[in-house]
Structures are given as C-alpha cells and as structure tokens.
Amino acid sequence: MHKFTVPIGPQHPALKEPESFNVLLSGERIMKFSARLGYNHRGIEKACEERTYIQNVYLTERVCGICSHAHSSCFVQAVEEIAGLEIPRRANYIRTLVGELERIHSHLLWLGVAGHEVGFDTLLMYAWRDREIVMDILAKLTGNRVNYGINTIGGVRRDINTDQIKDVSKAVKKLKERTEYYVRVAKEEVTLIKRLSGVGVLLPKDVLKLGAVGPTARASGIERDTRKDDPYGAYGELDFRVITDDHNDVYGRTLVRLGELLESYKMISQILENIPEGPITVKAPRKIPAGEAVSRYEAPRGENVHYVKSNGTDKPERVKIRAPTLANIQTVAKMLEDRNLADLPIVIAAIDPCFSCTDRLTLVKDVGHGKGRKMRWEDLHSHSIQWYKARGIDFSDLNKKMEKLLK
C-alpha cells in the first residue's frame, strides 16, 4: 500500500494547543510517529530570573491555565524551603483544598475533551456543565475562576469562613452524585468502551523505561503518586488511596481519573472537617538567602518538579520547571506503534497533554568560559555523570536496581 506522511498539527482540530506530529501512514496503519515540541515556548524561565520572588509567584501561575495552582505552589514551596520558613498549618490546609478543587476541575475538563475526541459531544456538554459548579466555588473562595492567586511566600492570601465551607460541602455533594453517574456511563456505554478499550496500550515495563508519571502510569498498575511518596502540604495528615488500574490502556486511564475524582471529594470533606485555627501567613523576607531547592508536586497530570536557585538578592538566579507532560510525551510514540489513525486523537488526549507547561529550553552557561555555549544531549549526559562522580555520588547501584525491575 502506498505510504504517505500526514502532518497532525501544529494546527489541527484534535489538538487544543499547537504541537507538530508527523505520522507515516500506510492505509490506516501508523508506521512511524515523530513529535516535535516547542511551539508554545514563551521564555518563562528566563523571565523568572528578571523578576522578584513575589512577582514570580504570579508568573509561574501563568505557565498553564489548568494546573496553575500546581505550578505556583511548587515554586512557593521551593522558595520557602530555601528561606527556612515554616508556614502555619491552616495555610497548608487551604493550599491543599484549592489544589484538590483544581484537580477536580482539571479531570472534569479532561472527561469532556476525551468525549469530544471520540465524537461523543453529549459527554462534553454534560461534563463541562458540571465543571461550572467547581469554577463558581473557586471564584467564591479565591476571587477568580482560573489563575487563583491564593499563594504568597509564607502562606496564603485569603482566609476561608464558615459560609464558604458550607458552600463547598454542598457543591462537593452535588458533584459526587454526578461523578458516580459518569462512572456508570463509562462502565456501561458500549460505543465508548469500544473506542477506549485496547487503545494506547502501555505495558508496565514500558512505563518504567520511559518514565511516565501521573494517571498515564497509574493505569498500568504502577503505584506512583507524589502525594503518598513525598507528602507536602496537608497530605501527610489526610487519609486517601492511590487509584491504580490494570487495563493498561485509555479505558484504564479514564477509570483512574474518575476514581481520583471520588477520592478528591473524600479528601475535601476531611479537610473541611479538620481545618485547624490559626494565622494564615508568616512574614517572609524580600531577599531570600543563598541556596537551592527542588520541590515536587502532584499536578492533575502527574509529577511536577521545580528547581530554584537563589543567591541572596531579591531575584532568583535560576528557575527550572519540568512539567509532567514532558515525561509522558515519550510514551505516545510507543503507544501508537502499528495502530489506526483513528486512535491518534484519543491516545494523545489520554495523556492529558498540556503543551504550555512542557515547552522549555535548556541553555547551559559555562561559568568558567564567561559566555554561553550550547551543549548537545550526549555531552550534557556525560557532563552530569562526571559532576555527580566528582561529589562522591555513584549511580551504578541504582542502575542495577532498574535493570532488575525491567527484567
């Protein structure tokens, strides 16, 4: 059969954000798939170096519209760790509450988008109608529907009173019965099951090899969740399960996200019952002492990593953001090997891509030489291995453990 290359993107109705994929087709079978990122690069990491910490809280919030609180909290946690600040417990609880509400709104948005990609527009309309409940609650609590601006260095900016707590409980109750309806639809609607099952299969050993995170990895049975592995905020004091599934495909990812929605409702009820009294912020200095910190946060799409390096002034020296979609995009090529073209939109949508978070650039400044130079990936790889060896850290036994897991 004749082979031809179809360009999916940068502009395509299946993609919500611009990204370029080149697909080599033979009939309807995909022979080769290659991705090219970088269309959404805005220079945020460089912009962070020229603004003060308090300005950066708002700048990192605007990395992405859907996981805005995740990026802002991750950054603020890193800065607070460098400055040695211990924020009050009430502030932690409020941050976690907004984080879980954001997870709810993101997963409901994903449900609608997945329905649209398989041609099920009714699910899109119903899921997004229910998402309005969460958006209204977030507007009441934080003052805006997206880009909440609730974080500040040293705590949160707004407090929550008893009326708002009552509104949140009512909204969560309504959303719980709607989500249980969607779980029933996902388990019983035959056309949806046919479109989502057996598509985008990713075996557990591929998950470990390619380093997938978030619901993409949890749908293959790998129990990896930053909220349990490395608790931050109020998660250490909450009681919740990590949802995994054994289907290894897009259907499993749907079930994982719906299960996480139900867990979030339980967590929010616990937060609202046990929220401690106290202040909501501590005084933070304008000049952060020199140091560096890495902080991790479980965004709705997976693990979000921020690295902040400070040098004693009021502007950071380096901010590096690694978004979860960057880890998951490698798995798409593996999932689409030898599959139909009709599966491509839903497979890309199933990793919940957020290309605004993903596009960063790495420019390494070699301090000794005085001017910047570009390093290739292999040079960077060997440079990093030497750097760690010079400090006495050896990765060879970790490599042996990985070999054993992959066997």
Q: How far apart are CA 154 and CA 157, in angstroms?
A: 9
In the complex with another protein, the residue whose CB is nearer, 51 or 266, is 51
Question: Rule CB under 8 A: is residue 31 a binding residue for another protein?
Answer: no
Q: How far apart are CA 33 and CA 224, in angstroms?
A: 27
Question: Rule CB under 8 A: is residue 193 a binding residue for another protein?
Answer: yes
Question: Rule CB under 8 A: is residue 329 a binding residue for another protein?
Answer: no
In the complex with another protein, the residue whose CB is nearer, 158 or 228, is 158
What's the token pair of residue 389? 């060896």
Q: How far is the CB of 57 from another protein (least distance, A)?
A: 8
Question: Rule CB under 8 A: is residue 118 a binding residue for another protein?
Answer: yes
Question: Rule CB under 8 A: is residue 190 a binding residue for another protein?
Answer: yes
Question: Rule CB under 8 A: is residue 49 a binding residue for another protein?
Answer: no
220 within 8 A of 248, measured Cβ to Cβ: yes
What's the token pair of residue 234? 């109020």
48 annotated among ligand-binding-site residues: no
Question: Binding residues for another protein, how many (CB under 8 A)?
Answer: 55
In the range 237-266, which residues lie near another protein by CB under 8 A?
A: none
Sign of the CA dihedral with 274 first, then 226, 147, and 306 last: positive
For strand 318-322 and strand 3-8, is the pairing parallel, antiparallel, or unpaired? unpaired
Q: How far is the CB of 356 from another protein (least distance, A)?
A: 16
19 annotated among ligand-binding-site residues: no
If you search the block for the tokens 């290739």, which residue do you land on? 376
Q: Which of 80, 100, 117, 352 binds another protein (CB under 8 A)?
A: 117
Alpha-carbon separation of residue 212 from 119, 243, 329, 334 (angstroms): 27, 16, 8, 12
122 within 8 A of 130, measured Cβ to Cβ: no
Q: How far is the CB of 59 from another protein (least distance, A)?
A: 6
Q: How far apart are CA 349 and CA 303, in angstroms?
A: 18
In the complex with another protein, the residue whose CB is nearer, 52 or 270, is 52
Q: How far apart are CA 320 and CA 323, in angstroms?
A: 10
354 annotated among ligand-binding-site residues: yes
Alpha-carbon separation of residue 195 from 110, 246, 346 (angstroms): 16, 18, 9
Looking at this protein, which amino acid is placed at residue 25?
Answer: L
Q: Which of 81, 189, 230, 292 binds another protein (CB under 8 A)?
A: 189
In the complex with another protein, the residue whose CB is nearer, 160 or 234, is 160
What 8-state DSSP symbol labels residue 281? B
Q: Which of 3, 4, 36, 312 binds another protein (CB under 8 A)?
A: 4
Residues at the interface with another protein (CB under 8 A): 4, 6, 12-14, 28, 51-52, 54-56, 58-59, 62, 115-123, 125-126, 129, 132, 136, 139-140, 143-144, 147, 149, 152, 157-158, 181, 184-185, 187-195, 340-345
Binding residues for Ni(2+): 64, 67, 354
